[in-house]
Amino acid sequence: MKQVGLTYKERIRNERRYFPSVLKALAENRHRIIELAKDNDPRLVKEIAEQKLNKDKLRGTVEKLWMDIGTASAGKIEEMIRRAKGKSVKIMYGMKKTNGREQLWNSRMQHYVRERTAWKIERMMSTQLEMINRVIDDTIQQTIDEGLGVLESRKKLVQNLMSDEFVVIERWQAKRIVQTEVGQAQNTGSWIAAQENAEGVRKEWLTSGDERVRESHVHFGNLGPKEMNYYYANNLLYPCDPNGEAEEIINCRCVILYDVD
């Protein structure tokens, strides 16, 4: 029996790669609001902030993340499983980089991306809007408390939107998005390739092994090898399964391993 799979380290690498572009998409949106705040009253800014947020950049980044990481993870897992089974990898992959398998993984990943990205982006955008609105509300309150004039209140809002405190919160949001999306894309890519090569393969849930792991996931990690179609008690087929409930997935750092006979 051999055990194969993509590690949590691999996830960290992928997260590092995508963090800058997610953060940039969020920051660009904030800067749109800052531009608006320079010439407009905080109250008006609040009214039109939502229309000013641009979803396209974040959506493009998340889609690219899924396609890149999902496709690459599927390719790696198929190769690992075939090697573990003592099967040739070359016949399947040939010498060319672009090949039939890559197209297969691509179309599988596209299926996930098409179905889910739109509402996911909506949710991310509304979280960002909530954060921005909170700053606007605080500024309006500040304006009243300190009896600030029109120009001062505009300046205050610009300052507050550029504050270190807000930048830190923005980085946290970017981190959460990247962690969640990379986990799902990597584990899903891994999973679809394993399903294509499922004969003689069993799965195993692997946690990151520290005290931040959810109690239920610690339990799944202790279950040992399971048949591929086994549902874990939270209705997930594998860690970060996009069909699972958000509370089982968000910030989950678990990965999936395969035992190959």
Residues near Zn ion (CB under 5 A): 217, 252, 254
Tell the smallest beta-carbon distance from residue 207 to Zn ion (Å). Answer: 6
Tell the smallest beta-carbon distance from residue 14 to Zn ion (Å). Answer: 16
Round to whole Å and give the CA distance between 249 and 261.
Answer: 29
Q: What are phi and psi of 222, to 5 degrees?
A: -90, -5
Assigned token pair, 43:
């109250």
Q: Which is nearer to Zn ion, 156 or 217 (CB)?
A: 217
Q: Which is nearer to Zn ion, 248 or 259 (CB)?
A: 248
Q: Which is nearer to Zn ion, 52 or 226 (CB)?
A: 226
Q: Which is nearer to Zn ion, 154 or 217 (CB)?
A: 217
Tell the smallest beta-carbon distance from residue 124 to Zn ion (Å). Answer: 21
Tell the smallest beta-carbon distance from residue 191 to Zn ion (Å). Answer: 15
Q: Which is nearer to Zn ion, 81 or 256 (CB)?
A: 256
Tell the smallest beta-carbon distance from residue 208 to Zn ion (Å). Answer: 8
DSSP per-residue codes, 200-219: TEEEEEE---STTS-HHHHH
Residue labelled with tokens 């279950």 = 223
Q: Which is nearer to Zn ion, 62 or 252 (CB)?
A: 252
Tell the smallest beta-carbon distance from residue 132 to Zn ion (Å). Answer: 31
- Other CB atoms within 10 Å distance of the CB of residue 152: 13
HEC per residue, 146-173: HCCCHHHHHHHHHHHHCCHHHHHHHHHH
Q: What are phi and psi of 231, to 5 degrees?
A: -95, 125
Q: Which is nearer to Zn ion, 85 or 214 (CB)?
A: 214
Round to whole Å and give the CA distance between 30 and 52.
Answer: 9
DSSP state of 230: P
Tell the smallest beta-carbon distance from residue 250 to Zn ion (Å). Answer: 10
Compute the C-alpha angle 15/244/250, nearest 5°: 35
Which residues lie across from 206 on neighbouring strands? 255
Assigned token pair, 28:
């660009």
